[in-house]
Structure 1
Amino acid sequence: MRRALAGAPFSFRVGQFAPLDPARPVWNSVGNEKTEQVAQMIRALAMIGGLSGAVAFSQFPEFSQQYMQRLAGARTELKVVTAGFDLTAKAAGYTRDEALEKMGGSDFQNNLRDQMQVNFKRFDRLDAAYTALKGTEPLARLAKVWHFRETDLVKRTWDDFRPAIPVTADGLLCAGIGFVGGWLLVSLILGAFMRPFRRRV
């Protein structure tokens, strides 16, 4: 009996001794358990990321519609200012640039000229964004999200926006896109972050 026991490794169990399987070392099973725990944590956080993305993106169709209304209003206001300045300059025999040059001299004129230049540039930017987004469906707007870069319009739209459960096909499609995007993003970030720890295990 002693000779048989002397050559085999043992593990202690409640009430008995049992020989260990040399093909499955203890540290391997511990490492596998830790790896599985990490994988489960990543899957859970990825699911949370996917759900968060779905909730956020499902609101995009209605939010973008309200943003478009504010964009159109701001564009119209600046269009009136721009057209009025150009007509006044033309009546005096000047182009826009020539009229701006004539406005220099006093601090008041310099400030007014600078403000008009800001208005002209903003109108061009808003007009380009409105032209690109006008008549597009919500999914098409999602592909042109860089046109939603007027921070003051975004803030005012968000302040008055009230999230709601999506009931349209566009809202459900955007929710699906948000879920997949959020799930992939969180999975990739956590996978890259946890890779060094996996190697140690």
Structure 2
Amino acid sequence: MVIGRIFALAIGLFTGLVASQGPEFAQQYRQRIGGAIDELRRVVGTFDDNARAEGVTREQAIARLTEQPDTLVRRQGPAMTEIVDRLGRLERQRDAVANAGPFERLAVLARGFDPQLAQATYLDYEPAWPATTEGLVIGGAGFVLGWGGFALLFRALGRLTPRHWRRRPARGELRSV
């Protein structure tokens, strides 16, 4: 039984550490959202400035691009539409995260994450020990779930083994195999 308790403790520590990385990943993802928004605003701002210089709106400029005979130029219309749409999605997600409570942030990010940003965050992710209440609570919950789940599983499996395998020999008594 001591081995089971040690395993349960190890599993609990591991799951607690893994769970505590959720808030850290979310924090690094939020930083990437800010950087992406800044860059997309710069691109859209330059496009809007060029459209105004031509005396047209953004939508009219995109329509002009899509009507061009040159395939390369024509592809820029849908590309700019996607950039504008992505900027809007990221701004809405940033605002939703900013308005969410500390424990709700993870759910908000999970519901509407940007696949490109999530992948880039994952590839550059640096694990860290959380110093926030959110990270500590989630890490603690992960520990309790991992430790408790493994302890229950180990106990259930222990009850399935034959009794003579579980019986502890008395001091000085040799156990026959």
Q: Same fold (TM over 0.5)?
A: yes
3-state SS of the aligned residue for 1:93?
A: coil
1:85 aligns with 2:47: yes
TM-score using structure 2 length: 0.64
Q: Please say if residues 52 and 179 of structure 1, whose CA atoms lie closer than 8 Å, have aligned partners that are also in contact.
A: yes
In structure 1, distance between residues paired with 2:147 and 2:56: 58
In structure 2, distance between residues paired with 1:169 and 1:98: 49
In structure 2, distance between residues paired with 1:73 and 1:185: 40
Q: Which runs of 5+ in 1 are unaligned?
A: 1-43, 191-201
TM-score using structure 1 length: 0.58
Q: Superposition RMSD on alpha carbons, in Å?
A: 3.3
> What's 1:72 paired with?
34
Equivalent residue runs for 1:100-179 within 5 Å: 100-103=62-65, 104-105=67-68, 106-134=70-98, 136=100, 138-146=102-110, 149-178=113-142
Q: Which runs of 5+ in 2 are unaligned?
A: 1-6, 154-177
> What's 1:57 paired with?
19
Over residues 97-120 of structure 1, what are the superposed CA-to-partner deviations in whole Å (9 max), with x where a residue is unaligned? 211111122212111112111211
In structure 2, distance between residues paired with 1:89 and 1:111: 17
Out of 69-78 and 149-158, give the one that drifted further.
Answer: 149-158
Against the structure 1 CA distance between its residues 90 and 65, is the aligned structure 2 distance closer, same or farther, given a 3 Å change threshold? same
How far residue 135 of structure 1 moved from its aligned partner, in angstroms, is 6.4
> What's 2:162 paired with?
none
Q: Please say if residues 71 and 153 of structure 1, whose CA atoms lie closer than 8 Å, have aligned partners that are also in contact.
A: yes
Against the structure 1 CA distance between its residues 107 and 62, is the aligned structure 2 distance closer, same or farther, given a 3 Å change threshold? same
> Equivalent pairs: percent with the same residue?
36
Against the structure 1 CA distance between its residues 84 and 57, is the aligned structure 2 distance closer, same or farther, given a 3 Å change threshold? same
In structure 2, distance between residues paired with 1:107 and 1:133: 39
How far residue 74 of structure 1 moved from its aligned partner, in angstroms, is 0.6
Given residue 49 of structure 2, which amino acid in structure 1 is its aligned partner?
L
Q: Paired residues, what number?
A: 145
3-state SS of the aligned residue for 1:171?
A: helix
Over residues 125-180 of structure 1, what are the superposed CA-to-partner deviations in whole Å (9 max), with x where a residue is unaligned? 11111121236554231231335522222222222222234444221211244456
